[in-house]
Amino acid sequence: MDKLHATKIFESLASGIRLDVFRLLVKHAPTGLVAGEIASLLELPPNNLSFHLKAMTHAGLINVTQEGRYQRYRAQLTLMQALIDYLTAECCSADPESCFEPNKASSCCDAV
């Protein structure tokens, strides 16, 4: 995890639409959903959704597999741990005695 990757992930989640998409895919982990299902569940124009899905895929937040004419998207939950570790790196290194617990987070559904 480097700064560029981290900002890309946060950018991905900084839009209400993309946040909705991600949470929807978390809810439907580990099966995922195809693009059309996401579009109809969130009531979004397919081309707009495609724009956001592309950004999220590029950030590594979701991944995609082809199923015939469908594209199935899945949340990439394992990324979260690396992100939190990056955020809390060197936590309290200026005042170590005040820090009672090392940063730790387990993600739900490591599948896919």
Partner DNA sequence: TCAACTATACAACAATATTTGAAATATTGA
Partner DNA sequence: TCAATATTTCAAATATTGTTGTATAGTTGA
Please name the amino acid found at residue 55.
A
Select from 47, 68, 69, 93 the one that contacts its own copies (CB under 8 A).
93
Q: Does residue number 105 form part of the binding site for its own copies (CB under 8 A)?
A: yes
Place of tokens 């929807």: 24
Which residues does residue 112 pair with via DSSP β-bridges, in sequence order? none
Contact flags string 46-85 toward its own copies, x per CB under 8 A? -------------------------------x--x---x-
**Rounded to an integer, what distance in angstroms lies between the CA atom of residue 27 and that of residue 49?**
18
> How far, in Å, CA of 100 to CA of 33, rounded?
40
Half-sphere exposure of 20 (CA within 13 A, CB side): 12
Q: Which does 42 bind (CB under 5 to 8 A by kind): its own copies, DNA, none?
A: none
Closer of 64 and 80 to DNA (Cβ) = 64
Task: Find the shortest distance in angstroms from Cβ 86 to its own copies.
Answer: 8
Name 60's Cβ contacts closer than 8 Å, sequence gap at least 6: 5, 8, 9, 76, 79
Residue 31 or 46: the one with the smaller Cβ distance to its own copies is: 31
Site of interaction with its own copies (CB under 8 A): 3-4, 6-7, 10-11, 13-16, 19-20, 22-23, 26-31, 77, 80, 84, 86-95, 98-111
